[in-house]
């Protein structure tokens, strides 16, 4: 049943901020209400430059990117744009002020004629997902409760399918495509890679290939198994924050501290990569906490920051050096323990050890001694 408002046919969704974690829900919800969903183009340097023109220069990169995506939708002729205000996602679990105030930012910086759909989610104030969805529907002149509930159900189905796939190890892009096509394809076999790292980062930094400079693909090419927030169930991330002795304050903390802590406590990783946008306050607090816990567990951690001026060459050099150090460290430990007849590291299974030896041959011309393994 097409119940879309007579005047509005298309809803524009900026490919930024909450898009990366929630798009399957948004897509299913709006489609079920009878609207065509239009997403902005992928992030490019031109799009970032466009967004940067509207905000003060010390605004963080993801917000500049968000503004650029709104402008991109307007330039495409889409004049109804979804800009949610995600205040708190659980009681006293907050988003940063910029994410909370996104509708205000957009209203005040973009002086063009368009309609904003701007629902609020604020669980601290008892404004939950039902209210959030009702606000959207009412703004689109849909008032029938059953229609709204049915659209929420469709949204949840797509969202849950998406999570089921990412938690089984399917990549972000593949899981998103399958979820939108109404399919579930889980991962059953995994390639054995010599080392594993967890990337602690907001979805909007990590899965935007332009912002992260394709970090995941680069790591995989270097022989690294990569874990992200999308591989961890919410309850496990919440438990990990508690088990590591911290408490959750930020809404995005599950993708950062929760994810890193989960893999650190399970001894599943050889290193942690913390990726953040330059000048992000919440991230710097979370990274500092994690640095402390990583040091306690003797797991190396690197902090990579990005802004609109970050050059790919320097980024890759730092990444390369970090991965090389992790491989050398693990290989030395594994060889030492094998010689002494001890058990391998908890994160080294026998197949991984073979892969490690194979990779080690590639770097064997350089002298591998304990002195060039840094922590």
Q: Which residues bind ligand SF4 (CB under 6 A)?
A: 60, 62-63, 96, 98-99, 202, 277, 280-283
Of 60 and 302, CB closest to ligand SF4? 60
Q: How far is the CB of 150 from ligand SF4 (least distance, A)?
A: 33
Q: How far is the CB of 96 from ligand SF4 (least distance, A)?
A: 3
Of 86 and 219, CB closest to ligand SF4? 86
Give the tokens for residue 203: 């979805």
Phi and psi at residue 341, to the nearest 5°: 70, 20
Q: How far is the CB of 95 from ligand SF4 (least distance, A)?
A: 7
Q: Which of 67, 124, 61 is nearest to 91 (CA)?
A: 124
Q: How far is CA 339 from its chain centroid? A: 40
Buried-exposed string 15-36: b where 16+ CB fall within 10 A, e elsewhere: bbbbbbbbbbbbbbbbbbbbbe
Q: How far is CA 18 from its chain centroid? A: 9
Q: Which segments within the chain are labelled E, that is strand?
A: 10-13, 36-39, 80-82, 85-90, 93-94, 115-117, 120-122, 195-200, 224-227, 271-277, 301-306
Of 67 and 277, CB closest to ligand SF4? 277
Q: How far is the CB of 246 from ligand SF4 (least distance, A)?
A: 17
Of 98 and 218, CB closest to ligand SF4? 98
Q: How far is the CB of 74 from ligand SF4 (least distance, A)?
A: 21
Q: How far is the CB of 366 from ligand SF4 (least distance, A)?
A: 37
Of 37 and 109, CB closest to ligand SF4? 109
Q: How far is the CB of 353 from ligand SF4 (least distance, A)?
A: 38
- Decide: 276 and 201 in contact? Cβ < 8 Å: yes
Of 96 and 142, CB closest to ligand SF4? 96
Q: Around Cβ 317, how many Cβ atoms within 10 Å?
A: 11
Of 247 and 367, CB closest to ligand SF4? 247
Kindly compute the dihedral angle of the four CA atoms of residues 249, 251, 253, 254, in this order, to the nearest 10 degrees: 120
Looking only at the bridges linking them, the beta strands covering 36-39 and 224-227 are unpaired
Of 63 and 165, CB closest to ligand SF4? 63
Q: How far is the CB of 311 from ligand SF4 (least distance, A)?
A: 20
Q: How far is the CB of 274 from ligand SF4 (least distance, A)?
A: 13
Assign 3-class secondary structure to 295-339. HHCCCCEEEEEECCCCCHHHHHHHHHHHHHHHHHHHHHHHHHHHH
> 169: which residues sit within 8 A by CB, 6+ positions away?
186, 187, 190, 231
Looking only at the bridges linking them, the beta strands covering 195-200 and 271-277 are parallel
Looking only at the bridges linking them, the beta strands covering 36-39 and 80-82 are unpaired
- Taking the C-alpha atoms of residue 274 and residue 86, their distance in angstroms, rounded to an integer, is 24
Of 99 and 117, CB closest to ligand SF4? 99
């Amino acid at each position: 049943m097409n119940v879309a408002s007579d005047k509005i046919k298309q809803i524009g969704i900026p490919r930024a901020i909450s898009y990366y974690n929630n798009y399957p829900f948004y897509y299913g919800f709006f489609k079920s209400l009878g609207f065509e969903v239009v997403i902005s183009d992928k992030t490019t340097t031109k799009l970032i430059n466009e967004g940067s023109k509207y905000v003060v220069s010390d605004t963080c990169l993801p917000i500049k990117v968000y503004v650029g995506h709104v402008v991109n939708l307007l330039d495409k002729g889409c004049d109804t744009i979804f800009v949610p205000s995600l205040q708190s996602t659980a009681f006293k679990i907050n988003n940063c002020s910029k994410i909370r105030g996104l509708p205000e930012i957009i209203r005040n910086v973009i002086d063009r004629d368009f309609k904003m759909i701007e629902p609020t989610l604020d669980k601290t104030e008892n404004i939950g997902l039902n209210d959030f969805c009702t606000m959207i529907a009412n703004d689109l002149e849909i008032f029938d409760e059953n229609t709204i509930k049915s659209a929420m159900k469709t949204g949840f189905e797509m969202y849950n399918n998406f999570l089921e796939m990412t938690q089984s190890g399917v990549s972000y892009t593949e899981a998103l495509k399958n979820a939108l096509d109404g399919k579930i394809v889980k991962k059953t076999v995994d390639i054995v890679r010599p080392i594993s790292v967890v990337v602690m980062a907001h979805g909007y930094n990590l899965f935007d290939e332009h912002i992260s400079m394709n970090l995941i693909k680069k790591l995989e090419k270097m022989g690294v198994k990569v874990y992200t927030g999308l591989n961890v169930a919410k309850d496990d991330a919440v438990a990990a924050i508690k088990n590591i002795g911290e408490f959750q304050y930020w809404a995005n903390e599950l993708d950062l501290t929760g994810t890193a802590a989960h893999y650190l406590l399970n001894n599943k990783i050889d290193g942690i990569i913390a990726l953040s946008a330059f000048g992000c306050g919440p991230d710097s607090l979370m990274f500092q906490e994690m640095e402390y816990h990583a040091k306690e567990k003797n797991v190396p951690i690197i902090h990579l920051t990005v802004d609109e001026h970050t050059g790919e060459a320097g980024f890759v050099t730092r990444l390369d050096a970090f991965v090389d150090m992790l491989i050398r460290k693990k290989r030395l430990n594994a060889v030492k323990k094998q010689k002494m007849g001890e058990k391998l590291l908890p994160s080294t299974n026998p197949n991984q050890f073979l892969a490690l030896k194979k990779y080690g041959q590639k770097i064997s011309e350089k002298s591998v001694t304990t002195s060039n393994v840094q922590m």
